Protein backbone atom coordinates (compact mmCIF):
# COMPACT_ATOMS: atom_id res chain seq x y z
CA UNK A 1 0.00 0.00 0.00
CA UNK A 2 1.20 3.51 -0.85
CA UNK A 3 1.53 5.88 2.10
CA UNK A 4 0.01 9.13 0.83
CA UNK A 5 1.61 11.12 3.62
CA UNK A 6 5.12 9.91 2.87
CA UNK A 7 5.11 10.35 -0.91
CA UNK A 8 6.17 13.57 -2.63
CA UNK A 9 6.07 12.49 -6.27
CA UNK A 10 4.81 9.59 -8.36
CA UNK A 11 4.69 8.57 -12.01
CA UNK A 12 1.13 7.35 -11.44
CA UNK A 13 -1.87 9.47 -12.37
CA UNK A 14 -4.05 10.56 -9.46
CA UNK A 15 -6.54 7.73 -10.03
CA UNK A 16 -3.79 5.11 -9.85
CA UNK A 17 -2.23 6.75 -6.81
CA UNK A 18 -5.50 6.59 -4.89
CA UNK A 19 -6.06 2.98 -5.92
CA UNK A 20 -2.61 2.08 -4.62
CA UNK A 21 -3.20 3.81 -1.28
CA UNK A 22 -6.22 1.95 0.03
CA UNK A 23 -9.95 1.38 -0.34
CA UNK A 24 -11.99 4.03 -2.11
CA UNK A 25 -15.07 4.95 -0.07
CA UNK A 26 -16.46 7.52 -2.50
CA UNK A 27 -15.53 9.14 -5.80
CA UNK A 28 -16.62 12.61 -6.90
CA UNK A 29 -16.42 13.33 -10.62
CA UNK A 30 -18.60 14.69 -13.45
CA UNK A 31 -21.60 12.84 -12.02
CA UNK A 32 -21.66 15.02 -8.89
CA UNK A 33 -19.88 18.24 -9.93
CA UNK A 34 -19.14 20.33 -13.00
CA UNK A 35 -15.69 21.63 -12.07
CA UNK A 36 -13.70 18.96 -13.88
CA UNK A 37 -11.93 18.02 -10.64
CA UNK A 38 -11.92 14.41 -9.46
CA UNK A 39 -11.78 13.67 -5.73
CA UNK A 40 -12.01 10.64 -3.49
CA UNK A 41 -12.63 9.55 0.06
CA UNK A 42 -10.10 6.82 0.70
CA UNK A 43 -9.46 4.55 3.68
CA UNK A 44 -5.76 3.81 4.15
CA UNK A 45 -3.63 2.12 6.78
CA UNK A 46 -2.83 5.60 8.12
CA UNK A 47 -6.45 6.83 8.28
CA UNK A 48 -9.24 8.17 6.09
CA UNK A 49 -8.47 11.05 3.75
CA UNK A 50 -10.16 13.32 1.26
CA UNK A 51 -7.98 13.40 -1.84
CA UNK A 52 -8.45 16.07 -4.51
CA UNK A 53 -7.02 16.27 -8.02
CA UNK A 54 -7.45 18.52 -11.04
CA UNK A 55 -8.93 15.60 -12.96
CA UNK A 56 -7.59 14.33 -16.24
CA UNK A 57 -6.35 16.24 -19.26
CA UNK A 58 -8.90 14.39 -21.38
CA UNK A 59 -12.15 16.04 -22.50
CA UNK A 60 -15.12 15.35 -20.21
CA UNK A 61 -17.13 12.20 -20.93
CA UNK A 62 -20.15 12.51 -23.26
CA UNK A 63 -23.08 14.05 -21.43
CA UNK A 64 -20.94 15.44 -18.61
CA UNK A 65 -21.34 19.12 -17.63
CA UNK A 66 -18.72 21.27 -19.31
CA UNK A 67 -16.11 22.33 -16.72
CA UNK A 68 -15.69 26.05 -16.16
CA UNK A 69 -11.93 25.70 -16.48
CA UNK A 70 -9.45 23.62 -18.41
CA UNK A 71 -7.00 21.27 -16.73
CA UNK A 72 -4.18 23.83 -16.47
CA UNK A 73 -6.49 26.33 -14.78
CA UNK A 74 -7.74 23.68 -12.35
CA UNK A 75 -4.12 22.90 -11.45
CA UNK A 76 -3.55 26.59 -10.72
CA UNK A 77 -6.52 26.57 -8.35
CA UNK A 78 -5.11 23.58 -6.49
CA UNK A 79 -1.86 25.51 -6.10
CA UNK A 80 -3.94 28.34 -4.65
CA UNK A 81 -5.56 25.92 -2.19
CA UNK A 82 -2.06 24.88 -1.13
CA UNK A 83 -1.13 28.54 -0.61
CA UNK A 84 -4.20 29.07 1.57
CA UNK A 85 -3.30 26.04 3.70
CA UNK A 86 0.25 27.32 4.12
CA UNK A 87 -0.77 30.89 4.97
CA UNK A 88 -3.67 30.38 7.39
CA UNK A 89 -3.92 28.15 10.44
CA UNK A 90 -7.47 27.92 11.75
CA UNK A 91 -9.35 24.90 13.15
CA UNK A 92 -12.29 25.48 10.79
CA UNK A 93 -10.08 25.06 7.70
CA UNK A 94 -9.70 21.54 6.34
CA UNK A 95 -6.31 20.16 7.36
CA UNK A 96 -3.98 19.59 4.42
CA UNK A 97 -1.70 16.66 5.22
CA UNK A 98 0.30 16.21 2.03
CA UNK A 99 0.74 17.20 -1.60
CA UNK A 100 1.79 14.55 -4.08
CA UNK A 101 2.98 15.57 -7.54
CA UNK A 102 1.33 12.96 -9.76
CA UNK A 103 1.58 12.38 -13.50
CA UNK A 104 -1.52 14.53 -14.13
CA UNK A 105 -0.88 17.29 -11.61
CA UNK A 106 -0.86 17.92 -7.87
CA UNK A 107 -2.89 15.70 -5.56
CA UNK A 108 -3.95 17.32 -2.29
CA UNK A 109 -4.46 14.99 0.67
CA UNK A 110 -6.70 16.29 3.47
CA UNK A 111 -7.90 14.74 6.68
CA UNK A 112 -11.45 13.52 6.25
CA UNK A 113 -13.67 16.18 7.81
CA UNK A 114 -16.31 15.07 10.32
CA UNK A 115 -19.97 15.70 9.64
CA UNK A 116 -22.04 16.24 6.53
CA UNK A 117 -21.91 18.59 3.55
CA UNK A 118 -24.63 21.19 4.05
CA UNK A 119 -24.96 22.07 0.38
CA UNK A 120 -27.15 19.65 -1.57
CA UNK A 121 -28.48 19.65 -5.15
CA UNK A 122 -31.45 21.99 -5.60
CA UNK A 123 -33.80 19.02 -6.02
CA UNK A 124 -32.99 17.93 -2.44
CA UNK A 125 -33.39 21.29 -0.71
CA UNK A 126 -37.03 20.55 0.16
CA UNK A 127 -36.16 17.16 1.68
CA UNK A 128 -36.44 17.41 5.49
CA UNK A 129 -33.90 14.59 5.82
CA UNK A 130 -31.22 16.48 3.89
CA UNK A 131 -28.28 18.04 5.79
CA UNK A 132 -29.39 21.38 4.31
CA UNK A 133 -32.80 21.25 5.98
CA UNK A 134 -31.53 19.66 9.18
CA UNK A 135 -28.93 22.38 9.65
CA UNK A 136 -31.54 25.10 9.01
CA UNK A 137 -33.74 23.49 11.68
CA UNK A 138 -30.93 22.74 14.16
CA UNK A 139 -31.08 24.26 17.67
CA UNK A 140 -30.03 27.92 17.72
CA UNK A 141 -26.92 27.08 19.73
CA UNK A 142 -25.64 24.73 17.02
CA UNK A 143 -26.33 27.19 14.21
CA UNK A 144 -24.76 30.12 16.05
CA UNK A 145 -21.68 28.04 16.89
CA UNK A 146 -21.22 27.15 13.22
CA UNK A 147 -21.78 30.72 12.03
CA UNK A 148 -19.34 32.05 14.61
CA UNK A 149 -16.65 29.68 13.36
CA UNK A 150 -17.42 30.73 9.77
CA UNK A 151 -16.84 34.39 10.60
CA UNK A 152 -13.73 33.75 12.70
CA UNK A 153 -12.16 31.62 9.97
CA UNK A 154 -12.78 34.31 7.37
CA UNK A 155 -11.37 36.98 9.65
CA UNK A 156 -8.19 34.86 9.76
CA UNK A 157 -8.27 34.43 5.98
CA UNK A 158 -8.71 38.18 5.57
CA UNK A 159 -5.69 38.87 7.79
CA UNK A 160 -3.66 36.68 5.43
CA UNK A 161 -4.96 38.66 2.45
CA UNK A 162 -7.66 36.35 1.07
CA UNK A 163 -10.97 37.44 -0.45
CA UNK A 164 -13.74 34.86 -0.72
CA UNK A 165 -14.95 33.69 -4.12
CA UNK A 166 -17.47 30.88 -4.68
CA UNK A 167 -18.25 30.61 -0.97
CA UNK A 168 -21.60 28.87 -0.53
CA UNK A 169 -23.24 26.10 1.49
CA UNK A 170 -21.33 23.52 -0.56
CA UNK A 171 -18.18 24.66 1.30
CA UNK A 172 -19.62 23.84 4.74
CA UNK A 173 -19.02 20.48 6.37
CA UNK A 174 -20.88 20.46 9.69
CA UNK A 175 -21.10 17.96 12.50
CA UNK A 176 -24.70 18.59 13.49
CA UNK A 177 -24.22 16.93 16.87
CA UNK A 178 -21.39 19.19 18.02
CA UNK A 179 -21.57 22.24 15.76
CA UNK A 180 -18.05 21.71 14.45
CA UNK A 181 -17.47 23.40 11.08
CA UNK A 182 -14.91 22.45 8.45
CA UNK A 183 -14.52 24.64 5.37
CA UNK A 184 -13.67 22.88 2.12
CA UNK A 185 -13.08 23.80 -1.53
CA UNK A 186 -11.74 27.33 -1.11
CA UNK A 187 -9.60 26.97 -4.25
CA UNK A 188 -11.11 29.98 -6.06
CA UNK A 189 -10.42 32.49 -3.25
CA UNK A 190 -8.35 35.43 -4.48
CA UNK A 191 -5.26 36.97 -2.93
CA UNK A 192 -6.17 40.58 -2.21
CA UNK A 193 -8.73 42.92 -3.73
CA UNK A 194 -9.44 42.54 -7.44
CA UNK A 195 -12.07 43.37 -10.02
CA UNK A 196 -14.83 41.26 -11.52
CA UNK A 197 -13.26 39.88 -14.70
CA UNK A 198 -16.00 37.36 -15.53
CA UNK A 199 -19.33 39.20 -15.41
CA UNK A 200 -21.06 36.48 -13.44
CA UNK A 201 -18.50 35.16 -11.00
CA UNK A 202 -18.29 31.62 -9.68
CA UNK A 203 -20.78 30.97 -6.91
CA UNK A 204 -24.37 30.35 -5.88
CA UNK A 205 -26.64 33.29 -6.64
CA UNK A 206 -28.33 32.73 -3.26
CA UNK A 207 -25.23 34.07 -1.51
CA UNK A 208 -23.43 36.28 -4.04
CA UNK A 209 -22.97 40.04 -3.68
CA UNK A 210 -24.33 42.37 -6.38
CA UNK A 211 -20.81 43.22 -7.56
CA UNK A 212 -20.23 39.55 -8.39
CA UNK A 213 -22.59 39.96 -11.33
CA UNK A 214 -21.09 43.21 -12.65
CA UNK A 215 -18.07 43.13 -14.97
CA UNK A 216 -15.36 45.47 -13.69
CA UNK A 217 -16.86 45.90 -10.22
CA UNK A 218 -14.53 45.78 -7.17
CA UNK A 219 -14.21 42.50 -5.28
CA UNK A 220 -12.79 42.85 -1.79
CA UNK A 221 -13.51 42.34 1.90
CA UNK A 222 -16.92 44.00 1.58
CA UNK A 223 -17.81 41.30 -0.94
CA UNK A 224 -16.82 38.60 1.53
CA UNK A 225 -18.84 40.39 4.22
CA UNK A 226 -21.97 40.21 2.06
CA UNK A 227 -21.62 36.48 1.34
CA UNK A 228 -20.97 35.67 5.00
CA UNK A 229 -24.00 37.70 5.96
CA UNK A 230 -26.16 35.96 3.38
CA UNK A 231 -25.17 32.52 4.67
CA UNK A 232 -25.91 33.62 8.24
CA UNK A 233 -29.24 35.10 7.22
CA UNK A 234 -30.27 32.07 5.18
CA UNK A 235 -29.65 29.47 7.85
CA UNK A 236 -30.10 31.68 10.90
CA UNK A 237 -33.70 32.40 9.91
CA UNK A 238 -34.51 28.77 9.18
CA UNK A 239 -34.53 29.58 5.42
CA UNK A 240 -37.30 32.19 5.78
CA UNK A 241 -34.89 35.12 5.16
CA UNK A 242 -36.98 37.10 7.68
CA UNK A 243 -34.61 38.60 10.25
CA UNK A 244 -37.45 38.75 12.76
CA UNK A 245 -36.91 34.98 12.95
CA UNK A 246 -33.13 35.17 13.30
CA UNK A 247 -31.95 32.62 15.84
CA UNK A 248 -29.39 34.93 17.43
CA UNK A 249 -31.75 37.69 18.55
CA UNK A 250 -32.42 41.27 17.48
CA UNK A 251 -28.90 42.69 17.96
CA UNK A 252 -27.29 39.94 15.89
CA UNK A 253 -30.03 40.36 13.28
CA UNK A 254 -29.03 44.02 12.94
CA UNK A 255 -25.44 42.93 12.33
CA UNK A 256 -26.56 40.59 9.55
CA UNK A 257 -28.81 43.26 8.06
CA UNK A 258 -25.86 45.63 7.75
CA UNK A 259 -23.62 42.93 6.29
CA UNK A 260 -26.08 42.15 3.49
CA UNK A 261 -26.96 45.62 2.28
CA UNK A 262 -26.78 45.95 -1.53
CA UNK A 263 -24.79 49.18 -1.26
CA UNK A 264 -21.14 48.34 -0.56
CA UNK A 265 -20.59 51.54 1.42
CA UNK A 266 -23.31 50.58 3.92
CA UNK A 267 -21.74 47.23 4.80
CA UNK A 268 -18.99 46.55 7.31
CA UNK A 269 -15.67 47.59 5.86
CA UNK A 270 -13.98 44.30 6.67
CA UNK A 271 -14.64 40.77 7.85
CA UNK A 272 -12.80 41.67 11.05
CA UNK A 273 -15.36 44.43 11.74
CA UNK A 274 -18.22 42.03 11.00
CA UNK A 275 -16.77 39.35 13.30
CA UNK A 276 -16.26 41.88 16.11
CA UNK A 277 -19.82 43.18 15.79
CA UNK A 278 -21.11 39.60 15.82
CA UNK A 279 -19.12 38.80 18.95
CA UNK A 280 -20.54 41.86 20.73
CA UNK A 281 -24.09 40.84 19.74
CA UNK A 282 -23.58 37.37 21.15
pLDDT of residue 59: 74
Q: Which CATH class is domain 116-281?
A: mainly alpha
pLDDT of residue 36: 78
Question: What sign results for the dihedral spanned by CA atoms 19, 78, 29, 94?
Answer: positive
pLDDT digit string (tens) for 225-272? 999 999 999 999 999 999 999 999 999 999 999 999 999 999 999 999
pLDDT of residue 29: 76
Determine the distance from the C-alpha atom of residue 119 to the mean position of all C-alpha atoms in its chain, rounded to a whole number: 10
Question: Distance (Å, rounded) from C-alpha 101 to C-alpha 109?
Answer: 11
pLDDT of residue 258: 98
Give which of 159, 166, 206, 229 is closest to 37, Cα–Cα: 166
pLDDT of residue 263: 97
Are 167 and 173 a contacting pair, CB within 8 Å? Answer: no
Are 199 and 213 a contacting pair, CB within 8 Å? Answer: yes
Q: Is the pLDDT of residue 32 over 90?
A: no
Are 104 and 215 a contacting pair, CB within 8 Å? Answer: no
174 burial (CB, 10 Å; 0-12 / 13-18 / 19+) is: buried
Give which of 173, 171, 172 is closest to 185, Cα–Cα: 171
Question: Distance (Å, rounded) from C-alpha 104 to C-alpha 263?
Answer: 44
Q: Is the pLDDT of residue 33 over 70?
A: no
pLDDT of residue 240: 97
**Mean of pLDDT over the chain:** 94
Q: Is the pLDDT of residue 34 over 70?
A: no
Does the domain at 14-111 match CATH 3.30.200.20? Answer given as yes
In the chain, what percentage of residues exceed pLDDT 70? 96
- Per domain, the residue ranges of the chain are 14-111, 116-281
If you write DSSP's letter for every residue of 206-233 in order, what string do you get?
TT--GGGGSTT-EESHHHHHHHHHHHHH
pLDDT digit string (tens) for 57-86? 877 777 666 666 789 999 999 999 999 999
Give which of 82, 222, 90, 109 is closest to 157, Cα–Cα: 90
Question: Distance (Å, rounded) from C-alpha 282 to C-alpha 265?
Answer: 24
Give which of 30, 48, 191 is closest to 114, Cα–Cα: 48
Q: Is the pLDDT of residue 212 over 90?
A: yes
Which tops the pLDDT comparison, 36 or 24? 24
Amino acid sequence: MTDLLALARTDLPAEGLVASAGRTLARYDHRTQDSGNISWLVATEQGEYFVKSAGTREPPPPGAPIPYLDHAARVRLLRSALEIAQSVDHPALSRLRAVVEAADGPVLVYDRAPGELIGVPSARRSDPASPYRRFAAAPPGIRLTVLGQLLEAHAALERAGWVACDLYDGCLMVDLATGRLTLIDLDTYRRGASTNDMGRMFGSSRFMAPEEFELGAPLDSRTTVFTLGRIARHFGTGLTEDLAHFCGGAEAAEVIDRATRPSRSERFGSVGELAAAWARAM
